[in-house]
Structure 1
Amino acid sequence: MLAKRIIPCLDVDHGRVKKGVNFVNLQDVGDPTAIASAYQKQGADEIVFLDITATNEHRKAIIETIEKVAGQVFMPLTVGGGIHTVSDMMALLKAGADKIAVNSAAVDNPDLITKGAEKFGRQCIVLAIDAKFNADTNQYDVYVNGGRKKTTLNAIEWAKQGVGFGAGELLVTSMDRDGTKSGYDLNLYQQLSRAVSVPIIASGGCGQVSDFTNLFQQTTVDGALAASVFHFGELKISTVKDQLRKDGVIIR
């Protein structure tokens, strides 16, 4: 069994870390380089850096910010936001990213996943999926453009298709749970665990240490991503890892 990963997420808007609830009402949290450095000291396994307004503003991710973060932290860095071409991926990798996350652009052009995997290897390409439960259809719908636009895609089916196109990892966010601190959407990740065999990172809803334990004990996801509880000092990564060890979860 692979060791589980604890992954803080930096949602970055014009060079500042922001955090909201259900993808809206964003609050300024601080400087991404300082925050990433603090998480490294706490024992984070990876960092996810998402430029959350790049796609809607039709611009590329902020290379300078990524270079600063990459120059200060020495753990895997996944970067997403504003990526539309293999050249965009190359620029981010040169800036210090280890993995590239694609979301909206991959929905518009799934061949981007394939081309990225062929160029850099499957392990480098992460398919990010923003999923929201639809009670009328009893399925999870895929949203793009920072959660602003609903698509016709079923999240579980899109996950399978994305892996088929070449994605080596999935980063799946529950929009319903995002920022609510009400626990991860276990049903979503149980369905995903049965659907694909690549590593899955779960995102959205973490509020307490037991949420990490429940996620790892009740699903087969490989990583747990959290933002609010770490950003606002409610939990420390070292505390989470200590409790997970006590609960019998194998972690790094």
Structure 2
Amino acid sequence: MGLAKRIIPCLDVKDGQTVKGVNFENLRNAGDPVELARRYSEEGADELVFLDITASAEGRNTFTEMVERVAKVINIPFTVGGGINAFSDVERLLYAGADKVSINSAAIRNPQLIDEISSKFGSQVCVCAIDARQETDGEWYCYVKGGRERTERRLFDWAAEVADRGAGEILFTSMNHDGVKTGYANGALAQLSTLPIPIIASGGAGNMQHFYDAFSIGRADAALAASVFHFGEISIPKLKRFLNGKGVKTRI
């Protein structure tokens, strides 16, 4: 049956609180990230992702303290990202207790950072996040600065380079689907799945069938979601039972 598929709650953190929006905008409060982390760990999440979505100078200190607190209350791997601009930021977050780091804007600005992280800490530590939007011409373009700035990098070209440089996995967020709850970008996921590293699907989860589709149609290795977990619309134990019942192997 292959490796078990992973279910990953994502916590976007702003000023020490978890927030969630739609299409990267209109944020609303979803609670204390440390308490949410504890709950998800107890409910059977496979991993967690925390993203510092503002990453101001003060926010970095607040975020580092939060990482230290999270590391004390959970027993599953967790990835942190946001505001990582240099190798020293990577070290700071790993030493605070994170298992992996997620880099996006910094990787596009300085692709060599991927090589540095994987060579120093191992490829499993380096998650390359790619926020991409499908434009009217049908092409997917990568965005940086929290989805605010388009680059000329094309999704599939950049994803291939990321894999070649030694990233351990790719966290792909479809900006078209983010928070809309109509399903993941399964066509793009299926194309990304031909790469030799795991792909985490992000953006679009609204019901349990959407997770099944991401695994069966999109061939994703993991599925990440936020609001459906934060606001109690989907419980992780029920989701895993649903997926196992449909032949998708998950750890229960």
Which runs of structure 2 are paired with 1:102-251 in the superposition (5 Å)?
102-136=103-137, 138-194=138-194, 196-251=195-250
Q: Hey, what's the Cα distance between the residues in 1 that align with 2:136 and 2:189?
A: 17
Q: What do residues 185-222 of structure 1 show as CA deviations (whole Å, max 9, x unaligned)? A: 1111011112x110110000000000111111113211
8 Å contact 2:188–2:218 — kept in the other structure?
Answer: no
8 Å contact 2:147–2:175 — kept in the other structure?
Answer: yes
Q: Hey, what's the Cα distance between the residues in 1 that align with 2:101 and 2:123?
A: 10
Q: Hey, what's the Cα distance between the residues in 2 that align with 1:134 and 1:197?
A: 26
Q: What do residues 109-134 of structure 1 show as CA deviations (whole Å, max 9, x unaligned)? A: 00111111111001110000001001
Q: Hey, what's the Cα distance between the residues in 2 that align with 1:87 and 1:118?
A: 15
In the TM superposition, structure 1's runs of 4+ consecutive aligned residues that sit over 6 Å from their partners are none
Q: Hey, what's the Cα distance between the residues in 1 that align with 2:34 and 2:183?
A: 28
Q: CA deviation at 1:41?
A: 1.4
8 Å contact 1:172–1:201 — kept in the other structure?
Answer: yes
Q: Hey, what's the Cα distance between the residues in 1 that align with 2:191 and 2:206?
A: 22
Q: Secondary structure at the match of 1:3?
A: coil
What amino acid sits opposite 1:222 in the alignment? D
Q: CA deviation at 1:87?
A: 1.6
Equivalenced residues, count: 248
Q: Hey, what's the Cα distance between the residues in 2 that align with 1:102 and 1:178?
A: 18
8 Å contact 2:10–2:48 — kept in the other structure?
Answer: yes
Deviates more, 1:59-68 or 1:206-215: 59-68
Long gaps (5+) in structure 1: none
Identity %: 50
What amino acid sits opposite 1:197 in the alignment? P
What amino acid sits opposite 2:37 in the alignment? A
Q: Hey, what's the Cα distance between the residues in 2 that align with 1:121 and 1:27?
A: 36
8 Å contact 1:60–1:83 — kept in the other structure?
Answer: no
What amino acid sits opposite 1:17 in the alignment? T
Long gaps (5+) in structure 2: none
What TM-score comes out, normalization by structure 2 length? 0.96
Q: Which residue of 1 aligns with 2:17?
A: 16
What amino acid sits opposite 1:75 in the alignment? I
Q: Hey, what's the Cα distance between the residues in 2 that align with 1:248 and 1:33?
A: 33
Q: What do residues 203-244 of structure 1 show as CA deviations (whole Å, max 9, x unaligned)? A: 000000001111111132110001010011001000100100
Q: Hey, what's the Cα distance between the residues in 1 that align with 2:64 and 2:196?
A: 32
CA RMSD between the two structures: 1.1
